[in-house]
């Protein structure tokens, strides 16, 4: 009965929100263009802020989200004294703690797979996966204790899932509370529903309603919500126009990825991702099923390297069924894999936010073929820095075009590299620091 009541409420909530909140395009545009460029030198402030980061995944080089958090904290540590409370997914991730230690004053780690649940699974309004994976009473207690021990200026959450802690922690009034929504989760989930078998849609639609309610109602309680793209900002403001949003793109460590370590292995393709993240799994299943077989007809010996963290069974099965596909699992350094590929592919068909992997490929001077969603939020021109394929046929044709034309691969890669220089982490950290200072005035 509780499940029926909660589902009915969520349906009514969704219909009410959709019909009662007009989309304020002018406000969306103002928010989308807010703080895009740093306009103040934060080092001139004269006082180091105290910032507590609370992250859903460990800041590290294991995956795109971790890379973004690691580089952001690294740059922000120039202006602030930073402490970190973070989840890890598995015990063996502790070896990566050394990457973040030089940039934080304190660090506490908790395992993500909590045994205690907020509510019985399938009941209530909190999405099941947040309840199952991210609720941890000990972590909430540690946040409250740390805020009490030290007078923090900023409490910065990373990942929407961590929004539950705004209710679970005791936060002093003087502390400004912010959050980064790495992708608009309700929009990404809605895209994925189209890919599910029909018999699964009913259950997943109920979960989507919970996610929609959670994202549109919780985020308005933060002093500022950071998103990566203007599209993400507009998506949130469409249903919750009172959310305070700043659009800050992700960056790339240009010096790191532009260093040449390996020569080309022709013909080969590469994709990079964290396969705990559903859009990366969707991309590789789609590409291996609908695109790669057509490429092999022209180039029977071509290799597809699927590189990255935590490949699930559906990814591992791709390599089992096709000897031309190599799944690497986590690698110490992704740069040689990117650089050896003839073409970097980004066949993203679900999800939101911005793809760090594409910026890394650009900095590596790689020719890239992407869906429009794959390069969302990156100011790349089709035919100049990247080839954008709008359907299966174009994806196949663009890859074959690049494989047949080494000079075109070189020209695209050079142009992409020049664009990647503008996405340096120093500038993005300055944007973030300016927001901190504005809120503390």
Assigned domain for 4 exists: no
For 106, 227, 265, 270, the CA distances from 305, given in Å and listed in that order, are: 38, 30, 11, 5
> Are 100 and 156 part of one and the same domain?
yes
pLDDT of residue 1: 43
> Are 62 and 203 part of one and the same domain?
yes
Domain count, the chain: 2
pTM of the model: 0.81
Nearest partner of 352 among 224, 214, 232, judged by Cα: 232
> Are 205 and 334 part of one and the same domain?
no
Domain around 200? 25-250+425-439
Assigned domain for 9 exists: no
Cis peptide before 315 (omega within 30 of 0): no
pLDDT of residue 34: 46
> Are 269 and 236 part of one and the same domain?
no
> Are 52 and 160 part of one and the same domain?
yes
> Are 162 and 208 part of one and the same domain?
yes
- Asked whether the beta carbons of 4 and 202 are under 8 A apart, the reply is no
CA–CA separation, 98 vs 198, rounded Å? 45
As a whole number, the mean pLDDT across the chain is 86
> Are 236 and 276 part of one and the same domain?
no
Residue 408, classed as helix, strand or coil, is: helix
pLDDT of residue 195: 62
pLDDT of residue 22: 42
DSSP 230-264: HHHHHHHHHH-TTS-EEE----B-HHHHTS-----
Assigned domain for 5 exists: no
> Are 231 and 262 part of one and the same domain?
no
Q: Which residues of 342-364 are buried (b: 16+ CB within 10 A; e: fewer)?
A: bbbbbbbbbbbbbbbbbbbbbbb
pLDDT of residue 131: 82
Residues of the chain whose pLDDT is less than 70? 1-45, 113-124, 188-189, 191-204, 353
Q: What is the CATH number of the domain that holds 292?
A: 3.40.50.2000
Assigned domain for 2 exists: no
DSSP lists the bridge partners of residue 325 as: 304
> Are 116 and 41 part of one and the same domain?
yes
> Are 176 and 32 part of one and the same domain?
yes
Which DSSP helix (H) or strand (E) runs through 7?
helix 2-20
> Are 245 and 265 part of one and the same domain?
no
> Are 258 and 197 part of one and the same domain?
no
Assigned domain for 394 exists: yes
Assigned domain for 19 exists: no
């Amino acid at each position: 009965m509780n499940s029926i009541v909660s589902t009915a409420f969520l349906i009514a909530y969704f219909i009410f929100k959709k019909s009662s909140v007009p989309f304020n395009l002018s406000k969306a545009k103002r928010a989308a263009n807010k703080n895009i460029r740093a306009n103040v030198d934060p080092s001139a402030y004269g006082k180091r802020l105290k910032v507590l980061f609370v992250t859903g995944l460990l800041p590290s080089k294991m995956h795109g989200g971790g890379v973004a958090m690691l580089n952001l904290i690294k740059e922000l540590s120039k202006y602030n004294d930073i402490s970190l409370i973070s989840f890890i997914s598995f015990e063996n991730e502790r070896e990566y703690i050394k990457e973040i230690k030089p940039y934080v004053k304190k660090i506490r780690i908790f395992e993500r797979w909590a045994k205690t649940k907020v509510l019985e699974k399938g009941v209530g309004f909190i999405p099941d996966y947040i309840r199952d994976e991210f609720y941890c009473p000990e972590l909430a207690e540690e946040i409250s204790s740390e805020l009490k021990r030290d007078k923090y200026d900023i409490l910065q959450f990373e990942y929407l899932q961590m929004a539950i802690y705004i209710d679970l922690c005791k936060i002093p009034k003087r502390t400004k509370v912010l959050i980064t929504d790495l992708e608009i989760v309700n929009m990404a989930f809605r895209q994925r529903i189209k890919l599910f078998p029909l018999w699964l849609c009913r259950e997943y639609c109920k979960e989507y309603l919970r996610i929609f309610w959670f994202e549109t109602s919780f985020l308005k309680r933060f002093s500022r919500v950071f998103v990566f793209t203007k599209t993400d900002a507009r998506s949130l403001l469409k249903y919750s126009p009172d959310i305070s949003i700043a659009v800050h793109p992700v960056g790339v460590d240009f010096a790191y990825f532009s260093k040449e370590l390996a020569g080309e292995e022709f013909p080969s393709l590469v994709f990079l991702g964290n396969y705990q993240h559903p859009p990366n799994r969707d991309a590789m299943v789609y590409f291996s099923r609908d695109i790669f077989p057509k490429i092999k007809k022209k180039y029977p010996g071509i290799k597809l390297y699927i590189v990255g963290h935590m490949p699930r069974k559906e990814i591992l099965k791709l390599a089992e069924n096709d000897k031309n596909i190599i799944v690497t699992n986590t690698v110490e350094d992704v740069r040689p894999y990117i650089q050896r590929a003839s073409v970097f592919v980004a066949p993203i068909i679900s999800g939101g936010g911005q793809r760090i992997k594409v910026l890394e490929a650009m900095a590596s001077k790689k020719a890239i073929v992407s869906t429009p969603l794959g390069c969302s939020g990156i100011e790349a021109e089709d035919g100049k820095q990247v080839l954008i394929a709008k359907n299966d046929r174009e994806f196949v044709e663009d890859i074959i075009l690049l494989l047949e034309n080494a000079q075109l691969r070189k020209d695209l890669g050079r142009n992409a590299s020049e664009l990647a220089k503008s996405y340096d982490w120093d500038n993005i950290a300055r944007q973030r620091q300016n927001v901190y200072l504005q809120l503390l005035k």
